[in-house]
Chain A
Amino acid sequence: MSKATLQPTLQRRPLVKKILEGADDNLLVIAGLGSSNWDVTEAGDRALNMPLWGAMGAPVGMGLGLALAQPGKRVLVITGDGDMLMSLGSLATVATQRPENLAIVVLDNEKFGETGNQATHTSPRNNGPTESGAGADLSLIAKGCGIADVGIVREAGEVAQLVKDARTRKGPVFRVVKVMVEKLEFVMPPQDGAHLKDRFRQALLGHP
């Protein structure tokens, strides 16, 4: 395979919009800090989103705690490769519990987007002095941690299946989506964490 064929062509914003299309009260979303937060918010700010402005490394654990507390709801974690790399062990923790209602989608642009697009460990090796990573494969890591249902999405033709997997497939589901590096507008949800938490609980439980 030549390097050119591996250049990502998927754009994160329309992709996330498709994943979240028709979101109802059954769908609980945790969005990792930075780009994933802005992507999920652009698709539509809603009470049953928990978009993070910090807490790097927390989304998968948060999704797990939520999935265990709400087995009747679908829990979807959407985050980036940099965030995922910070809590690889949490994938093994997910595997110990095997929550059938949890899906994790990692938008992998191989960059730390919020700090100036430095290469993450998922960037290829031998990619020059400033752009080289480890070629780390998050789907293999998830599989190695004990999550059986993993995959990598690269093509537009695979997106419809990705949406189904993220929304309905028996979990735990783990998908990496290779996405383009893009400069996009920040689309920000409310920042107050207590407010985000209270509106989430109000919508889900009927009280803050």
Chain B
Amino acid sequence: MNAETSIKSGADWRDQIFDVLQAHDIKQVYHVPDAGHSRLIEQCQRSNSIRTVPLTTEEEGLALAAGAWLGGQRSVLLMQSSGVGNTINLMGLTKTLRFPFLTLITMRGDYGEFNSWQYPMGQGTPKVLEAMGVLLYSVDKADEVKATVDAAARAAFNGGQAVAVLLRQKLIGIKDFGKK
């Protein structure tokens, strides 16, 4: 919380992600509740130009993204690394249909994680995404978030690729349950 309050709201990297999504004409945003993405999700929910869809499991996001693209709209899937495993089979849709796909992933089990249950999927996330042919962009500095998400969106929607941005735990902050 200290880092967040010390940065002016307009300069916050989460606000910058929202600006980038708007600049790339993203119309549908899919998410499973996630602390790391919560501020961005709330901004999307308040937006008039973006439809925000809560999912019951992350794999639904791939199906929705394919449907949105069939209908001419761009989308983004917001998830945590622990949800990446749920998407892997349907991640193949991005190859079989060859449609642009963008996902922003907040990492757990990555840097100073306290919860041992987060490590297997957190450590496996880059490998399984690579195995499915997803391009990986990784960012761990706040001042590089905007440019990285922008580049990822260009690779996806101009370059026709499936792209994942890994928002590293070093960037998001180590979760400290119960401490203020």
Contact = CB atoms under 8 A, between A and B. Distances in A.
Contacts of A89: 55-57, 60
A132 B65 CA distance: 36
Given A69-B28, A96-B53, A194-B98, A200 B93 contact: no
B70 A58 contact: no
A65 B72 contact: no
Nearest to A197: B97
Interface string A9-44: 000000000000000000010100000000000000
Contact of A197 (B28, B60, B68, B99): B99
Interface string B118-146: 00000000000000000000000000000
Contacts, number: 116
A57 B60 CA distance: 8
Interface size class of B (residues with CB under 8 A): 20 to 34
Contacts of B90: 55, 57-58
A55 B64 CA distance: 12
B15 interface: no
A1 B104 CA distance: 53
Given A68-B28, A89-B56, A90-B56, A193 B97 contact: yes
The 3 closest A-B pairs by CB, nearest first: A65-B67, A61-B63, A69-B71
Interface of B: 27-28, 51, 53-57, 59-73, 75, 90, 92-93, 96-99
